[in-house]
Amino acid sequence: MQVFLDPALLKIQIPELVLRPGMTLTARVAERHGSRGLLMLANSALAAELPDQVKAGDRLRLRVTETGPERVVMQLLEETAAAQQQAGAVPVPLPGGQNAELEVDEREGEGRRAGEEAAVAITYRSPRLGALNFRLALEGGSLTAHVQAAQGLPYEQAREQAEALREDLHRATGKPVQLKVTPRHDPLDVYA
């Protein structure tokens, strides 16, 4: 089931949003009129062509499948996949057959600090590095990123890769990026 957007309207209403195939987004259906409706995306209402089973008030998980001058096509992801992601960690396959886990700790609007436009906090758990905490926030037109890693090898590797991460975030968002990497001080369990 697919959702269609007009790229010209998207560019006018949300010029800072660049959609690329493979991106996953969350949107809410504000209104429904026949096969068309208003989709709330990045705090903007966009006219969209919607699948029949979608109704006003629905929250949708969408994956961008096509971007062109005539239309933007997004695939409606199954509710079970969205429910799994909201319920807990999502497995991320790694080379060698191992899995890492990605968990959303804080979503846009939850715990937002003064001056932030949008923020998300996630934890990435890998077999080799353990838990890495990421917090990304839009502040005054730039992206601030904070990475926390356990002391030792995880922190050292995060610090060594910080510039590459900053460049990747800048390339992906087109925004200036302020990046801070700090060691995480995990509590010591003396009863164990």
Separation of alpha carbons 100 and 120, rounded Å: 19
Instruction: Examine residue 171 and state whether it is found in any structural domain, yes or no.
Output: yes
Both 139 and 57 in a single domain?
no
Both 21 and 50 in a single domain?
yes
The reported pLDDT for the residue numbered 182 is 93
Both 73 and 95 in a single domain?
no
Claim: this prediction has a pTM higher than 0.85: no
User: How many C-beta atoms surround the C-beta of residue 39 within 10 A?
Assistant: 26
Instruction: Examine residue 139 and state whether it is found in any structural domain, yes or no.
Output: yes
| pLDDT tens-digit readout, 12-25 | 888 877 788 888 88
Instruction: Examine residue 156 and state whether it is found in any structural domain, yes or no.
Output: yes
Q: Residue 106 pLDDT more than 60?
A: no
User: How many C-beta atoms surround the C-beta of residue 43 within 10 A?
Assistant: 9
| pLDDT tens-digit readout, 133-146 | 888 888 878 889 99
Query: Sign of dihedral through CA atoms 57, 23, 10, 116?
Result: positive
Q: What is the mean pLDDT of residues 41-46?
A: 78
- Select from 48, 80, 112 the last residue of a domain: 80
Q: At what angle do helices 162-173 and 153-160 cross, to 10 degrees?
A: 50
The reported pLDDT for the residue numbered 15 is 80
Both 32 and 94 in a single domain?
no
Both 55 and 102 in a single domain?
no
Q: Residue 58 pLDDT more than 60?
A: yes
Both 122 and 163 in a single domain?
yes
Give the range of the structural domain holding residue 137, as residue numbers without chain letter. Answer: 89-184
